């Protein structure tokens, strides 16, 4: 049975965690394939709210195996904090039982966090992600399979602690990494997570050949892709479908369905161009109604209209077989909605994104207006979704304006929208019939 992939189609924060949580109830494996604790997925189960940063969203299914893939940069200290919180609520310790760390994944060390904390230009999370990927590309990083060798090599410890200290100094960061400090960190990681370090690519390949359900979970979004995003205001990894299998350790032919997760409007966190951003009361309304604050950093998210130019770019990269439209309920209460259908750059009409960030920042949005729909509270939307699914009526249960909005977006993009999120709860999703 082919693997399924869930990807963010915008700048992240689209609601991927909720979809993965839903799909994971029927999955045998859920694997993260890139990024680290710069991601933040929120899952709402009634009164329980789980905020995950590295743990795959399949955590809530006790029969689901969990993988931190080879394409990730894993912060073991943050991972322990997440596991401690999970144990408090579930009394489970999944590491070494159903949570596995790829032996090829890279370790995000205290040095990387110190170095990353000096960023002022890109607006990163400061969690050490970029510096860890930089060390990976420079071939001086530490993979989980390297731990036992590196911590027992005094020459390596001396050379690399000196390298780290000099890089901090050159970056204007106070702090010294001694050989003893570095060894202590590596010792702790190996001792704490050694039982969970496995050849996860082989494990996933075997699972697929045995016909098991495998779900590959992306972090961030397509417009934050290091190659095809709004560079340099991007993350440090490949966030697209091409890396889903590569980062998990399997091959592209093993993928079937590719879910693109799209917020009913657009948000982004941090610096960088955002053509449809709103600086008025409508943008403020979206932020307030959508509780738009970053899961990882708590920073307010910038809000704007749904941008079809962004989504066409994202679809070309990922080949979505279906879309999940999230947070449609947030738009309730606006009399009129707008959708970006193209850009104007110095009088030239563009239907695709320019590659250069300076040009992206200069475009003017060309929009089409769509009728809005009335506001409903969270409990009303939840009741609507449950009724729509139990009675099998699908989108016909949506308010007229909301239904027309979904149908128009689907027609514009030419990709089936198979579910619509109308609230944070797992059950607050209307499925197409």
Question: In terms of Cα–Cα distance, which of 34, 42, 35 is closest to 425?
Answer: 42
| 46/179 same-domain check | no
Provide the domain limits for residue 311: 3-102+199-431
Residue 299: how many CB atoms within 10 A of its CB? 13
Backbone angles phi, psi at 123, to 5 degrees: 85, 40
| Residue 343: CATH number of its domain | 3.90.170.10
* 13 annotated active-site: yes
| 292/378 same-domain check | yes
What predicted TM-score, i.e. pTM, was given to this entire model?
Answer: 0.93
| 155/45 same-domain check | no
Give the pairing type, strands 348-350 and 214-217.
unpaired
Q: Is 416 exposed, middle or buried (0-12, 13-18, 19+ CB in 10 A)?
A: exposed
Catalytic residue among 21, 28, 41, 329: 41
Q: What is the pLDDT of residues 362-382, one digit of tens each?
A: 999 999 999 999 999 999 999
Q: What does the alpha-carbon distance between residue 12 and residue 217 come to, in Å, rounded to a whole number?
A: 13
| 357/211 same-domain check | yes
| 180/213 same-domain check | no
pLDDT in the model for residue 86: 93
| 111/256 same-domain check | no
pLDDT in the model for residue 228: 97
Give how many domains the chain has, as a whole number. 2
Residue 353's Cβ-side half-sphere holds a number of Cα atoms within 13 Å equal to 28
Catalytic residue among 13, 28, 146, 329: 13
Q: What does the alpha-carbon distance between residue 97 and residue 29 come to, in Å, rounded to a whole number?
A: 13
Q: What does the alpha-carbon distance between residue 37 and residue 125 come to, in Å, rounded to a whole number?
A: 9
| 285/425 same-domain check | yes
| 356/412 same-domain check | yes
For the chain, residues with pLDDT lower than 70 are 45-46, 119-124, 295-297
Q: Enter the tokens of residue 317.
A: 């990269």
pLDDT in the model for residue 39: 74
Last residue of a domain, one of 177, 196, 215: 196
| 208/305 same-domain check | yes
| 98/146 same-domain check | no
Geometric angle at alpha carbon 420, from 417 and 421, rounded to 5°: 150
Helices (H) and strands (E) in the chain, counts: 14, 20
Last residue of a domain, one of 174, 196, 218: 196
| 227/355 same-domain check | yes
Q: Is 139 left (phi over 0), alpha (psi -120 to 50) or beta?
A: left
pLDDT in the model for residue 171: 87
pLDDT in the model for residue 124: 67
| 225/112 same-domain check | no
| Residue 132: CATH number of its domain | 1.10.300.10
pLDDT in the model for residue 120: 61
Last residue of a domain, one of 149, 164, 196: 196
* 307 annotated active-site: no
Residue 153's Cβ-side half-sphere holds a number of Cα atoms within 13 Å equal to 12
């Amino acid at each position: 049975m082919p693997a399924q992939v869930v990807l963010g189609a915008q700048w992240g924060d689209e609601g991927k965690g909720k979809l993965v949580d839903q799909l994971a109830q029927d999955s045998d494996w859920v694997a993260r394939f890139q990024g680290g604790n710069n991601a933040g997925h929120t899952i709402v189960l009634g009164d329980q709210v789980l905020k995950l940063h590295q743990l795959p969203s399949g955590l809530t299914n006790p029969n689901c195996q969990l993988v931190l893939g080879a394409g990730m940069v894993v912060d073991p200290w943050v991972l322990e904090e997440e596991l401690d919180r999970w144990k408090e609520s579930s009394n489970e310790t999944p590491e070494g039982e159903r949570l596995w760390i790829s032996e090829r994944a890279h370790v995000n060390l205290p040095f990387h966090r110190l170095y990353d904390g000096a960023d002022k230009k890109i607006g990163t999370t400061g969690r050490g992600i970029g510096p860890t990927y930089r060390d990976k590309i420079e071939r001086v990083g530490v993979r989980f399979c390297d731990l036992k060798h590196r911590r027992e090599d005094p020459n390596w410890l001396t050379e690399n602690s000196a390298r780290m200290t000099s890089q901090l100094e050159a970056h204007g960061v106070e702090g010294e990494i001694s050989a003893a400090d570095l060894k202590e960190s590596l010792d702790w990681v190996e001792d704490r997570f050694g039982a969970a370090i496995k050849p996860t690519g082989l494990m996933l390949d075997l699972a697929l050949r045995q016909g098991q359900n495998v779900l590959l979970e992306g972090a961030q979004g397509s417009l934050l892709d290091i190659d095809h995003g709004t560079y340099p205001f991007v993350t440090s990894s490949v966030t697209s479908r091409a890396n889903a299998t590569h980062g998990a350790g399997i091959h592209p032919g093993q993928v079937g369905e590719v879910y693109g997760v799209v917020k009913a409007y657009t948000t982004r966190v941090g610096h960088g161009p955002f053509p449809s951003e709103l600086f008025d009361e409508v943008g403020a309304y979206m932020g307030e109604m959508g509780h738009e604050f970053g899961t990882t950093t708590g920073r307010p998210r910038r809000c704007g209209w749904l941008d079809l130019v962004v989504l066409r770019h994202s679809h070309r990269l990922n080949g979505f077989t279906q879309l999940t439209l999230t947070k449609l309920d947030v738009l309730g209460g606006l009399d009129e909605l707008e959708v970006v259908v193209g850009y104007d750059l110095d009088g030239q009409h563009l239907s695709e994104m320019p590659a250069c960030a300076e040009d992206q920042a200069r475009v003017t949005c060309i929009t089409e207006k769509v009728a809005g729909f009335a506001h409903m509270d969270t409990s009303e939307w939840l009741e609507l979704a449950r009724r729509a699914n139990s009675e099998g009526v699908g989108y016909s249960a949506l308010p007229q304006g909301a239904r027309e909005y979904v149908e128009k977006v689907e027609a514009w993009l030419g990709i089936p929208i198979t579910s619509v999120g109308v609230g944070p709860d797992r059950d607050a999703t209307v499925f197409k019939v």
